[in-house]
Structures are given as structure tokens and as C-alpha cells.
Structure 1
Amino acid sequence: MEVHKGLADVVVSETSLSAIVEGQLSFSGYNIDELVEKDASFEEIIFLLWNSRMPSREEFAQLQHDLHTHMALSESVIACLKIQCRQNLHPMSVLRTTVSLLGVFDPYAEEMDERSVYIQAISIQAKIPTIVAAFARLRKGLDPIAPREDLSFGANFLYMLTGEEANPDLVRAYNHCLVLHADHDLNASTFTARVAASTLTDVYSCITGAIGALKGPLHGGANERVFDMLSEIAESDTRDVAGYLKTKLDNKEKIMGFGHRVYKTEDPRKKHLKRMAKELTQEFGKEDLYDLSCEVEDYLLKEKGLIPNVDFYSATVYHCFGIEHDLFTLLFSMSRVSGWLGHVFEQKREATLIRPRSKYVGPVNLTYIPLSEKETIGGNAQ
């Protein structure tokens, strides 16, 4: 049996959602560069990933209506969020548990017909921004802010964080982030969602599992670790980028935000995030953070040939939104859930259980000795 560590280069499914071909990323045939440069809305991308086509005006309006209808949280969910506002509980654990609770409170969570599954998906997609914003406020002792029906998906989230409408440039930048992070081939969290969906379990279970996978520092959690690294360098007495990174590399420590299993020359999402990082740091007077990020990028490229992935500059961009760094991966989740749900739909239609094999490398031909026949020392079986 040939073993592919980490399933590297193993193709396990077909999809019409996203593709990485010759270093280019596309969603159902639309190049990611064009979607960002022409300001495609995140709501359009949700529809695209769920239907493999762009919406008509009527379909777009209906999707917006459905999202707004399901965005508010019940008092029961808010009460559960308050309970989770304690130290040493990672916000991704809060999101994971709260999404699971949505299924507990949904009387139709076990229904598998097409309409019920769609409503479950809409509910999850719509409520995650509200969950994140409510939690961000509750842990500061502030009351949650209800969503508004007249704001877009991204604008609503930024509004629910502060109670004030964000400026159009910030909304546009956040919409770009949502589009860029929406889907990405068969990454770890998406694969987790598809494995769960292949068992024909409910949608809430699929997404709860995907969130658990995204939490890991080798996946979505990397952007949080990137900001920790930048902060350590910036707050040091010497601000010695080369010395800091050399020590990390000499100690065989992984540099978060660099390297990619698929991309070898450039992550196509990076250039957009780097541009946004430059623009936003200039707007908010945080140019030093952008300059520091560029120094880190230049050093690692020169010394190790390492390239930034989507997580590296997204950390700087998210910081400019005024969001605490331990919430960065939750922002990733708000976007990526659209892709997860698209893959759940696709996998359920395929109706094939994902069940790989493993190669056994443990001991063989051992002889079992019953406990009653083993020698005892001091009355204890050995």
C-alpha cells in the first residue's frame, strides 16, 4: 500500500466549486482576481458556491432577504454566549460550540429535504457574523447590537461590532477579504466538512467539525500566530527582524503565514491582501506594521525561498479593522463557511461515503496472555 503523507497530491473527489490550476484560483470558472478587481459582492459568491453559477437580480435579492431574515440571535443563544465569556477559552471554541448549539435549538435540524437543508445553511451563514460580533462585545461587558436589514453582509458585521456604520473603504476592503477567503479547493477544514457530509449527517455537524479543523495553527489559526510574531518583533528592544527570524529558523520553529502545500511561487490571494494592508495601514497610521511585514517577507524569501500565504498579510488587514487578534480566525470562518456549505451540498448529492485506508506499521503476531495467568508481584499482575 502506497502511503501519501497528509494525502499530498491525492485526488479524492470532483468539484465544481473552486479550482487551483497553474497557480491561479477560480470559483466555478471565475478567476479570483477578476472577482476582487470588479468588486463582486460576498453575497454573490455565496450564491455562486452554492449553485455553481452567478445569481440573477431576483435571486440575489432573495438571498439577501434570506440572510437578513436569519441573522438575529435568540435570547437563548445570547445567554449561552455570555456563559462562554471566560478567560482561557479560545474564541474559536466559542464559535464551534455555539454553531453546534444552533442545531440544538433548530427544531428542523434533523430534516434532510432540500428546503430544510437550505434553511439550515442560511441560518449558519447568516448567524456566524452575529455570533462573532456579539461575543466580541459581551466579553467587554457591552450589549450585543442587532443586525440591520439595510446593510450588506460585511457592513452588517462591522456595524454590529461598534454600533456605527463603517466607512465605505473599510466595507469594501472587508468584502474583498470575504471573497478571497470563501473557498480554496480541498483544504483541511473543507475536507473535514465533506467527510462528515459523506456520512449523510446533519449540516450543523458538518460545519461544527469544519470549525474545529480551521481552529488549528497549521490551518486558519495561522493568521493569529502571524500577528503574535509581528507584535513580538515590534515590541522588542532592537526590532531586529533578521535576528528574530534566524533564531526561529535555527531552532526549527515554523514561521506562520509562510509556505503552502499547493502554491510554490505565489499564493494568488496574497497580492490583494498585501495591497489592502498597505492602503489600510496608511489610512489608520499603522505604516510601521506594513513595513515590518514587508521586511519579514523579504528576509524569508531571500534566505529560505519561502513565500507568504493568505494568512500573512490578512493578519495586518484584520488588525486595521480594529478587531482583537484572537478573533482573526473567526473572521476567516465567516467567509469560509460559504465554501464549506457548498461542499456539503455537493458531497451529499454525490452520496458516497469517504472511507480511506491506513497502512498498519505496528507489532504483529503477539500472543495474548490472560491476566489470570500472569505472574504477580506484591499482589499486582505484571
Structure 2
Amino acid sequence: MADKKATLTVDGKNYEFDIVKGSLGYESIDIHGLSQNKLFMYDPGLVSTAVCESAITYVDGDEGMLLYRGYPIDQLASNADYLEVSYLLLFGERPTKQQYQDFSKLVKRHTLVHEQLTKFFQGFRRDSHPMAVMCGVSGALAAFYHDSIDVKKEEHRELTAIRLLAKIPTLAAMCYKYSIGQPFMFPQNNLSYAGNFLYMMFATPCEPYVVNPVLERALDKIFILHADHEQNASTSTVRIAASSGANPFACIAAGIASLWGPSHGGANEACINMLEEIGTVDRIPEFIARAKDKNDPFRLMGFGHRVYKNYDPRAKVMRETCHEVLKELNIKNPLFDVASELERIALSDPYFIDHKLYPNVDFYSGIVLKAIGIPTSMFTVMFALARTVGWIAHWKEMYKQGNFKIARPRQIYTGYTERDFPAIDKD
């Protein structure tokens, strides 16, 4: 029983609720019984509502903190690879050496997709947005595994997690290859998770492809930094879809659709588009002035964050990686000169500092992806690829807890009150 209570007074009548607190974070008022008194809370965007209990990820925006299962994100990005982090998110603890090796082998065994699935791509226009294709083909996985999944069985949930973690990169690379008219490249089990993706993206049957280790590690870090981020829009979408008992592949497809929005996963794409709009360093003062003008609709993309009111801890890691990649590739591109100058201004200009408009992870990851050679249209697909393991972890956690209910938000009705609909003479 909770030690603290909260009292809500409505029309002179008092209602008492427990105040609950997790291991970290704010206290919450447990209002789940409020509807029994014919009262609802009005919270657009659910910005003040905790919809579940979770032990996976913790975000403290004021402190600039991001923990996966209690481990700081910067330590994971420096000391682990994506599959190790995936194991941690899925199973709660970091793997032993043997567990890591067994897990890696298992993932690699499931990277191929059914040959019939490759024919789905032919139904899309070549110029389709890769996220539109990704939504379709990831949802289509449900058609291949609908008879072999019993979500009530833990071993089936774990096999589903492995399948999704293994096959989503294959599908993502196929989206790109289809868009440029190149043949699909089969995954290579001798490569790392990130290295294999680079191979499937950029190799061709015409000549050998050697994975650049600097780019491989940079991409692996991007995957780690985007693996999970608590109860965001796409994760909540997956949980809501899963609450009905829907096929897990369909739930992930729903998450991909939610991620597509420019306010969520599309932010890094919007950031690169902004850099291209600015064009050259000499035009930066003009756009900085516009960004400071409240009456100007222009907004600097890649700065600030909905949650973080401090420096995004993922951005600190990505900033170093960004500079490593640009140094490795020795790229001379006006776009990167614009980005470097914007970064300098944001870290020194009092307006940006006072408004806590630090460069965020989208700012740096977009630049890195662009430098690697991944087209802007594929940026959100990369985000979906990385975030899939977080979605699966939350999906697994829901079923393990076993006490979730089908999501049923309420509303404040503002339409007509009851009115008559008399029959009319139709003759």
C-alpha cells in the first residue's frame, strides 16, 4: 500500500488516491479507479500520464540522463555493441560471453526473409518513400508467421523478438536497393550487425565490398543511441496495438508508421533538409536571425528536444562520432561546413544557451548518415531499424507482466447533444 495519498475535490466531494513512485523519476497519482466515480482526466498528448510500469529505459530530461536497464547511454555506446545492448534490453541483464555468442549466432540464423516476401516489393512504385515500403513489408511478415505464434508462450515471444531483430535490417536494405534498381544482397553471417547492414546496402554482385571499420562502428553507435527512449509516440503505439493481442509483426508495423512523422523519427531528415536550405556558411546569420524571430515560421531543426532541457546525452556521443566519420572520409562538402558553424554558434550563443537549444542527436546522426552515403529518404528507416529492439522489449515486457488491459482512452465530447432524425419523404 502506498504511504502517501492525494485528495481530489470536485463539487465539495473528496476523492482519495494513492501516490506511487518508481525506483527513479517523479511521483504519480494512481487514478486508475477514477472512472468508477464517472470522472476522467483530460491530458492531451498524455504528457502528464503514466500509462504503464516499465523497467527498461529511464529518461531524465532535466538532468540530461538516459539509462538502459540502469546503464548510462554513453557507457553503452563506448563499451558495447548493438547486439549486446539488444540482449540487455530484451532480457534485462547484460549477456555473459557465452550468452552473447549464442545470441549473435541465433540472430544471424534468422536474417534471411522468405523468398516470396521479396516479390512484395514489385507492387510498389520505384519512387515510393522507403518508409511507405517499410510499413508494408514489415506488416507483411505477419502473413508468414501468423500460425506459428502463440504470444502467451514465452518461448514464442523470444523467437519473435529474434526474428524481428534479424529481419528488419534485411528489409530496410531491400527498401533501398529496390528504390535504386539494384539487386538485393543476401546477408553475410561473418559480418557484425552494423557491418552486415552496410554490406546489404552498398555491395553489388559485381565486385567485393569491404566494410570500413570506422563507418561500421559509427553506425553501430547510431543503432545503440536510438534503440529505446521510454514511452515515446511510436513505442506507445506498439503497446496500444499489442494490448489488443494483435500479431506482433503488425504491432511493429504500427510503430514504424507512427515513427514516420516529422515530429518523431523524421526529425533527422528535416535537419538535413534545413542544412540544404541554408546552403552556405555566409547565409547562416540570416537564418539565425529568423530562428530568433517569434513571428517567423522558420525553425532550426536538430536543436533542442521535447524531453531534454539539458544537453541530450546521445548528442554528446554522436558529436564525437560525427567528427571521426568526417575525418575518416575527408569529405569536402558545404553542408558539413554549415553544420559545423551552426554547432559552434549553438554552443556559444547566449540565446541558444538560455533557451537550452543544444544540438540534439538528430542533428549529428543526420550528418553521419549522409556522410556514410545513406540517402536522406532512408534516415527514418534507419531510426526504425534501431528502435525495433526497443519496441520488442516493451512488447515482451507487457506480456510478461500479464496484467495489461486493452487500451481505451477516453475523450471530452464536444459534438451535438442528442437530436431527432425524422424520416423524410424520399418519393
Q: Please, what TM-score do these two structures have when normalized by structure 2?
A: 0.81
Does structure 1 residue 316 correspond to structure 2 residue 385?
no
Residue 216 of structure 1: aligned partner = 261
Between 201-210 and 257-266, report the one with greater CA deviation: 257-266
1:111 aligns with 2:150: yes
Secondary structure of the residue aligned to 2:141 is: helix
Indicate the residue corresponding to 1:142 in structure 2.
Answer: 182
Match of 2:385 in 1: 334
- The answer for the alignment partner of 2:46 in structure 1 is 7
Q: Which residue of 2 aligns with 1:190?
A: 235
Correspondent of 2:70 among 10, 26, 29: 29
What do the CA deviations read for 1:267-291 (whole angstroms, capped 9, x no partner)?
1100111111122122223364343
Report sequence identity in percent.
Answer: 32
Tell me, in whole angstroms, the C-alpha distance in 2 between the residues paired with 1:32 and 1:63: 21
After TM superposition, give the deviation of residue 209 of structure 1 in Å: 0.7
Contact 1:68 1:149 in 2 (8 A): yes
1:17 is the counterpart of 2:93: no
Q: Map of 1:219-258 to 2, 5 A cutoff?
A: 219-234=264-279, 239-247=282-290, 250-258=295-303
- Asked if 2 retains the 8 angstrom alpha-carbon contact of 1:70 and 1:127, the reply is yes
**CA deviation vs aligned residue, 1:268-315 (integer Å, no higher than 9, x gap):** 100111111122122223364343124334556644522332211110
2:424 is matched with which residue? Answer: 372
Secondary structure (helix, strand or coil) at the match of 2:67 reads strand
Specify the code of the residue in structure 1 equivalent to 2:89: L
In 1: Cα distance, 2:107 partner to 2:135 partner: 20
- 2:131 counterpart residue number: 92
Q: Where does the alignment leave 5 or more consecutive residues of structure 1 unmatched?
A: 374-378
Is the contact between residue 243 and residue 407 of structure 2 (CA under 8 Å) also seen in structure 1? no
8 A contact 1:155–1:165 mirrored in 2: no
- State the SS of the aligned residue for 2:424: helix
The corresponding residue for 2:305 is: 260
More moved, 112-121 vs 321-330: 112-121
- 1:211-257: CA deviations, max 9, x gaps? 011011000011111111111212x6x84123134446543244332
Which string of whole-angstrom CA distances, capped at 9 and with x for unpartnered residues, describes residues 142-184 of structure 1? 1111111111111100111122131111111111111111111
Q: Distance in 2 between the 1:158 and 1:98 partners?
A: 20
Worse-matched range after superposition: 93-102 or 18-27: 18-27
Measured at CA, do residues 201 and 302 of structure 1 come closer, stay the same or move farther in structure 2, by a change above 3 Å? same
Is 2:215 the partner of 1:175? no
Contact (CA 8 Å) 2:198, 2:211: kept in 1 or not? yes
The code of the aligned residue for 1:13 comes to C
Post-superposition offset of 1:190: 0.7
Q: Which amino acid aligns with 1:365?
A: T
Counterpart selection for 1:355 from 383, 407, 410: 407
User: Mean alpha-carbon deviation: is it higher for 201-210 or for 113-122?
Assistant: 113-122
Tell whether the 8 Å contact from 1:92 to 1:330 is kept in structure 2 after alignment: yes
Given that 2:214 and 2:328 are in contact with CA atoms closer than 8 Å, whether structure 1 keeps it comes out as no
In 1, distance between residues paired with 2:344 and 2:266?
Answer: 23
User: Partner amino acid for 2:117?
Assistant: V
Taking the aligned partners of 1:299 and 1:149, their CA distance within structure 2 comes to 44
Q: Which has the higher helix share?
A: 1
Helix, strand or coil at the partner of 1:372: coil
1:55 maps onto 2:95 in alignment: yes
1:2 Cα shift?
4.0
Q: How many residue pairs end up in the alignment?
A: 371
Report the equivalent of 1:376: none
Q: Distance in 2 between matches of 1:74 and 1:214?
A: 25
Per-residue Cα deviation, 1:320-343 (whole angstroms, up to 9, x for no partner): 111111001111111110110000
Match of 2:197 in 1: 157
Aligned-pair Cα RMSD in Å: 2.2
Q: Aligned equivalents of 1:360 and 1:84: distance in 2?
A: 40
Q: Which residue of 2 aligns with 1:122?
A: 162
Is residue 326 of structure 2 the alignment partner of residue 281 of structure 1?
yes
**TM-score, length basis structure 1:** 0.90
Look up the SS of the partner of 2:191 in the other structure: coil
The alpha-carbon distance between structure 1 residues 85 and 123, as it changes in their structure 2 partners (threshold 3 A), is farther
Alpha carbons 1:198, 1:348 under 8 Å: kept: no
Structure 2: give runs of 5+ residues left out of the alignment: 1-39, 204-208
Q: By how many angstroms is 1:96 displaced?
A: 0.9
